[in-house]
Amino acid sequence: TDDILYNSKHPYTYGLINAVVTPEPEVRKRGLISIPGEPPNLLKPPSGCRFHPRCPYAMDICRREEPPLIEVKEGWTVACHLVASGRR
């Protein structure tokens, strides 16, 4: 869990972690970071990566292709084009 909390790979996970209220004064000064937009319609999901309409790092490939599932380390996988490209 430390890897996920302190070294998250997927932008959605990063957004969730940063939306958590914390007692740490320095983090509280920064304020909560929200994930913009609305969750996708599960009956008609967007093409490509399901998170791309809300992702601040979305690239063209995210809109076109579903990301591959990549094993970051044993027991930890992520589906993200940023990770696949080595940019995150």
Residue of higher predicted confidence among 84 and 18: 84
Residue with tokens 């998170």: 51
Predicted local confidence at residue 70, as pLDDT: 87
Distance of CA 70 to CAs 46, 53, 77, Å? 21, 21, 5
Rounded CA separation 3/76 (Å): 9
Neighbours of 35 (CB within 10 A): 17
Burial 44-80 (b: 16+ CB within 10 A, else e): eeeebbbbbbbbeebeeebeeeebeeeeeeeeeebbb
Does the structure show a pLDDT above 70 at 6?
Answer: no
Question: pLDDT tens, 31-82?
Answer: 666 777 888 898 999 999 999 998 988 999 999 999 999 888 888 888 999 8
Domain coordinates in residue numbering, the chain = 2-84
Does the structure show a pLDDT above 80 at 5?
Answer: no
User: pTM of this prediction?
Assistant: 0.63
